[in-house]
Amino acid sequence: MNISFTTIVGMMFALGLVCLTGMYAGRKVTSAADFTTGSNMSVAMVAGSLIGTLVGGASTIGTAQLAYTYGFSAWWFTLGGGIGLVIMAIFFAKPLYTSGSKTLPQILSKEYGKKIATLAAVLMSVGTFISIVSQLLSGSALLTSIVPIGSGAAMAGVILLMGIYVIFGGALGAGMVGILKTILLYVSTIVCGLLSLKLGGGLSVFTEVLPAEQYFNLFARGYWKDGGAGASLVFGVLTTQAYILPVISAKNLKTSKAGALLGGALTVIIGIAGIFVGMYMKLFMPDIPSSAAMPQFVIHCVPGFLGGVILATLLIAIIGTGAGLALGISSMISRDIYKVYFRPQATDRENLRFSRLVIVAVLISAAMFSMGEVGSMILNWSFLSMGLRGAVAFAPMCFALFSPGRISTKFAGMAIIAGPVLVLIGSFILPADIDPLFLGMAGSVIICLIGWLTGKKPEA
């Protein structure tokens, strides 16, 4: 790609800044609670942690990729994610914060019992694992497009950076690095968006040359397809441990709500810049692979040092999302499986050590899985992952928070199993323009409603 020396300097500067911040945060971690959930997070740290996990490869490189072909239809990933955070702030922050639970399975355990919580933790971890795979694939694709290395070496580099990002600092590190990442990311995306408009001749050129029905239509791929994509993000955000963590880790409820609202607003905005970059590349480089739209734009259109900072920021966005999701899995496994079934009397230091080992194991497993032939399905897997998480836990969680004591363990278990199973079945039997999330969510909600109407019978 003929990367200049100043571009490399810019990349090293941004990556070094993030690594130093992560190591500094690691020195502040003194307990397992600091690591897995953080403590006393400010508004900026809550928003930074949410954005740091939500805005990754799909939100940047993936948005530009989809916009290359469908324009504003690509907005649904960040638009749906932002709407999900706003809904969380308005309706879910208070019951989550006041529940006294640190993980979603703990909420389910209080209402439905340990077995249901364990089942939900395992299924949600599988869905989250899929998202980590997609982040590793995105990071590897980005590295191999700017550095002459093989995919194996690129994957190892991404894992190493994810480890530095979160293993040493945990939730506290994710919050601190999230603030830095948010600043770098928004400066970078705003520069790219404005530059693409300027180089393209202004918005009027885009609207005149590109077909409006395809490129300036939020539902260019169909109402069911794009609507399902947005719904997947909403439900996925509301039921993913990595997004619940910052909300329950704020220093008070007011801070929790404000951080989620700020994170939601900023997440909605960030997708627009990627859309214009994708459409610009369609106008002026129509023959490149769509997945290369964002990296190619930065390499060819952004000056040296700044271009390096932006490329590194894109990599950091991918790293932050994958690391935050790995932390969410670690939090559920350590608190809801290891602590409950294997080592109830484990010391705080032992829990901290185990949480870090889980993150290492998850990242290595995801890298091994990513070596298969799954690269062409990155974006589809991102939406599927969000949909699976929502189908597993959304309905049971809502009834546990807003109508406790009304649904029996039997109905909750059936809903948790039926949701993801119907999503997977729907992906095979439904037409391509209908998101299978609708089938899974409908099945889960119907089962919970039947349980709610039947009423919870007292146990013998």
Please write the tens of the pLDDT for every residue from 259-318.
999 999 888 888 888 899 999 999 999 888 887 788 889 888 887 888 888 888 888 778
Residue 395 lies in a domain: no
Number of Cα atoms under 13 Å in the Cβ half of residue 58? 31
Check whether 415 has a pLDDT greater than 90: yes
Please check whether residue 448 lies inside any domain of the structure: no
Residues pairing with 69 in the sheet: none
Position 257, amino acid: K
Residue type, 372: G
Q: What's the average model confidence in pLDDT over 98-115?
A: 85
Pick 85 or 229 by higher pLDDT.
Answer: 85
Cβ burial of 402 (10 Å; 0-12, 13-18, 19+) is: exposed
253 vs 51, residue with greater confidence: 253
Q: In this prediction, what percent of the chain has a pLDDT beyond 90?
A: 20
Burial pattern 37-71, b for ≥16 Cβ within 10 A else e, equals: bbeebebbbbbbbbbbbbbbbbbbbbbbbbbbbbb
- Beta-carbon neighbour count of residue 253 at 10 Å? 14
Query: CA geometry: angle at 117 spanning 115 and 122, to 5°?
Result: 95
Is residue 98 classed exposed, middle or buried when 0-12, 13-18 and 19+ CB atoms within 10 A define those classes?
Answer: exposed
Please spell the DSSP secondary structure of 145-176, one letter per residue: HHSS--HHHHHHHHHHHHHHHHTTTHHHHHHH
Is the pLDDT reported for residue 438 higher than 70? yes
pLDDT at 376 over 60: no
Q: 438: which 2 tokens?
A: 């609708």
Domain ranges, residue 305:
5-374
Mean predicted confidence (pLDDT) in 100-129 = 84
Average pLDDT of the residues of the chain: 81
Q: Is residue 86 predicted with pLDDT exceeding 90?
A: yes
Alpha carbons within 13 A on the beta-carbon side of 100: 3
Query: Which of these, 409, 215, 380, 179, lies nearest to 291 by C-alpha position?
Result: 380
CB-CB neighbours of 177 under 10 Å: 30
71 Ramachandran zone, left/alpha/beta (phi>0; psi -120 to 50): left
What the block records as the tokens of 343 is 């080592």
Task: Using alpha carbons, select from 26, 210, 111 the residue that is nearest to residue 415.
Answer: 111
Q: What is the pTM of this model?
A: 0.78
Residue 377 has pLDDT above 50, yes or no: no
Residues 202-246 pLDDT 10s = 889 999 999 999 999 999 888 888 888 888 889 888 988 778 888
Of 352, 334, 331, 330, nearest to 342 (Cα)? 334
Nearest-angstrom CA–CA distance, 118 and 107: 11
Is-contact 277 193, C-beta < 8 A?
yes
pLDDT confidence of residue 457: 53
Provide the pLDDT for residue 255: 92
Cα(356)–Cα(167) distance, integer angstroms: 6
CATH number of the domain within which 61 lies: 1.20.1730.10
315 occurs within a structural domain: yes
Q: Any idea which residue has 């940047």 for tokens?
A: 60
The per-residue pLDDT for range 26-80, each reduced to its tens digit, is 555 554 454 444 556 788 888 887 887 787 777 788 888 889 989 999 898 889 9
Query: Residue 21 falls within a domain, yes or no?
Result: yes
Contacts 24+ apart (CB under 8 A), 150-156: 152/371, 155/367, 155/370, 155/371, 156/367
Using one digit for the tens of pLDDT, what is the confidence trace for 162-218? 776 665 544 444 555 667 777 888 888 888 999 999 999 888 999 999 999 999 999
- Is residue 457, in this structure, part of any structural domain at all? no
* Nearest alpha carbon to residue 53 among 251, 233, 250: 233
Q: How far is CA 313 from CA 2, 30, 269, 306, 336, in A?
A: 19, 29, 17, 10, 34
d(CA 454, CA 25): 50
119 φψ region: left (φ > 0), alpha (ψ -120 to 50), beta (else): alpha
Contact 347, 42 (CB under 8 A): no
Residue 216: per-residue pLDDT: 94
Measured distance CA(119)–CA(184) in Å, rounded: 38
Q: How many domains does the chain have?
A: 1
Q: Is residue 129 part of a domain?
A: yes
Closest residue by Cα to residue 58 from 133, 152, 166, 155: 133
Task: Specify the residue for token string 């202004």.
Answer: 202
Query: What is d(CA 391, CA 380) in angstroms, rounded to the nearest whole number?
Result: 16
Both tokens assigned to 256: 């929790």
- For residue 365, being part of any structural domain is answered with yes
8 Å CB contact between 394 and 183: no
| pLDDT at position 380 | 62
Does 430 fall in a domain?
Answer: no
Count CB atoms within 10 A of the CB of residue 204: 9
Which segment of 106-115, 127-136, 160-169, 184-193 scores lowest on mean pLDDT?
A: 160-169
Helical pair 304-333 and 43-54, crossing angle rounded to 10 deg: 100
